[in-house]
Structure 1
Amino acid sequence: MVFQGDGPLDTGSVSGGGGGGGVGRIAVGGGAGLIITIVALFFGIDTGSLTGGSSSYGGGTANSRDVAEINDHIRSCTIEKANVDTICRIVATTNSLDDVWSDLMPGYTPPSTKIFTGSVSTGCGPATSATGPFYCPADETAYFDPTFFAQLEQMGGSDGPLAQEYVVAHEYGHHIENLTGVLQRGNRMGSQGPRSGSVRVELQADCLAGVWAYHADNGPDAMLEPLTSDQIDTVIQTAKAIGDDTIQGANSNPEGWTHGSSEQRARWFTIGYDSGDPRRCDTFATNDL
């Protein structure tokens, strides 16, 4: 159990998506399209088709029936179901994130969230499940295919609830960066290299996910039960599994990094979680990443 309480969830900003025009990555071009090269690929590589995961929705191109089923599923979500159901866990996490960031950030406006299978149309172009979780600044929407979490576990990450919620919180971190202008700043600093704008953007999103975790179980109205050290360890395990050096292996070259090393990703999440202060997440103010 991670979420506490009972009753329905707010599903107003979450919907099913699909029908993204078949195969291919998000289109890359100028403006928002270039920013997507920084924030879209959670892995930093093309992982191929993410099929056969824990969701009841398979891979391939989504059709209207898939979208309708996902929307029905979303509307059925409750806090209780969020502890046993991946789609409802995504919905509940967005509720908690909106609560936390509304308190922490003056003028905060929530992003939209789309849960899709196979392929999806976005304001940044078409995408497929192979993209992994991503945030599109052009339409201020975070996108998730639930089958991703099975792939993440195969890569050495955790399938624990808080680890999955960290993935959602990371993409919401990109929304915070979009609201504050950090995405645009990172875009100007380049997309590859150990001190590139891309790495700084990704590490800041990890730190902001940690800030959320610090606040998400605080106070009488907190949605999360008090977090345990074992649950935090599942996040650290997952952050390390998706570091550039881990993914790229023994021949990893820092000059090609886009997301940061395993140690850096775990470290910046921990900075956010230990402090609970978004100001501690300024990865652009230091070269000690």
Structure 2
Amino acid sequence: MTFQGDGPLDTSGVSGGGGGGRGRIALGGGAGLIVAIVAVLFGVNPGDILGGDGGSTPSVSSGSSGTNTGIQSQIDSCTIAKANTDTICRIVATTNSLDKVWPTLVDGYTKPKTVIFADAITTGGCGSATSAVGPFYCPGDKTAYFDPTFFTTLSDQLGGSNAPLAQEYVVAHEFGHHVQNLLGNMDQAQRLGSRGATSGSVRLELQADCYAGVWAEHADKGPDAMLEPLTSEQIGDVITTAKAIGDDTLSGRNDTEGWTHGSAEQRVRWFTTGYRSGDPASCDTFSTNRL
């Protein structure tokens, strides 16, 4: 268990969608930014999605942007207690916690929307995507997208943890991208490119990991805290997952030219930096020479 108490969750900003259809990925705007944010936040090569020329729009299976009634029904039934046993409700509960924590840390924070989808989805600002791209945040519609089956892939195929806090870290990472969108960090990333050890993409992803750590530090504090006091074992579950989705772990080599997310060591270190400090200011990956 990570969530404490019972009662309903706020599902007003969460909806279900996706399922079936054919479509095309349409990643417009600044390619470096959109590739980094939409194409793959957990290790898939952006070039594999955009095509060899880095700008084509290959056909993919894509879903409807309408509501998936089965997922929506499950979302509507979520309670805090169910978040400790049900993956969809865990996503919802984590968004509730994030939306409690971030307004205390960022002036003018506004809540993103969240879509929990199956198979594929058409976004409101970043084209269409399948489950293969993993969780992602679309700055065009300020929405975080999650297919719950990713967590099975993460644990069974990538070597990550399937423990609750590890899954919540994934959600917090995507909300970290929303915070970046609000603060203007994405503009910095776009200017620094989408690939390489010191690229804007790597800096953006490591900062989102750090922001996830900041959330974790605050999420079990105060009278309104939704999380029970976190244990070192639970933090260890997050570290296991962060290691599993490092660029070097996923590729099996240390060739940094194609990096988009940072190494396993970097992802762990930046999450830990945020968790130990609890301060978003400690997450300035754009000013440091030591990523």
Normalising by structure 2, what TM-score?
Answer: 0.90
Percent identity between matched residues is 65
- Deviation by residue 1:101-155 (Cα, 9 ceiling, x = unmatched): 0111110000000000011011100000001000000000000000000000021
Residue from 128, 140, 143 that aligns with 1:141? 143
Secondary structure of the residue aligned to 2:137 is strand
The equivalences for 1:80-159 within 5 A come to 80-122=81-123, 123-154=125-156, 155-159=158-162
Secondary structure of the residue aligned to 1:17 is strand
Question: What residue number does 1:35 align with?
Answer: 33
CA change 1:223–1:255 in 2 (3 A) is same
Question: What residue number does 2:200 align with?
Answer: 197
In structure 2, C-alpha distance between the alignment counterparts of 1:67 and 1:182, rounded to whole Å:
33
- Deviation by residue 1:207-241 (Cα, 9 ceiling, x = unmatched): 00000000000011100000000000000000000
Please list every run of 5 or more consecutive structure 1 residues that lacks an aligned counterpart in the other structure.
49-59
Question: What residue number does 2:175 align with?
Answer: 172
CA contact (8 A) 2:116 2:148 kept: yes
What amino acid is the match of 2:130?
A: T
Residue from 214, 219, 224 that aligns with 1:221? 224
CA change 1:274–1:29 in 2 (3 A) is same
What amino acid is the match of 2:10?
A: D
Residue 8 (str. 1) matches residue 8 (str. 2): yes
In structure 2, C-alpha distance between the alignment counterparts of 1:219 and 1:110, rounded to whole Å:
21
What amino acid is the match of 1:182?
A: N
Residue from 283, 286, 289 that aligns with 1:284? 286
- Deviation by residue 1:3-48 (Cα, 9 ceiling, x = unmatched): 0011000000000121575255x423323x6422112312231699
What amino acid is the match of 1:95?
A: N
Secondary structure of the residue aligned to 1:224 is coil
What do you get for the CA RMSD once the two structures are aligned?
Answer: 1.9
In structure 2, C-alpha distance between the alignment counterparts of 1:146 and 1:66, rounded to whole Å:
16
Q: How many residues align?
A: 275
Question: What residue number does 1:69 align with?
Answer: 70
In structure 2, C-alpha distance between the alignment counterparts of 1:176 and 1:192, rounded to whole Å:
22
CA change 1:23–1:152 in 2 (3 A) is farther
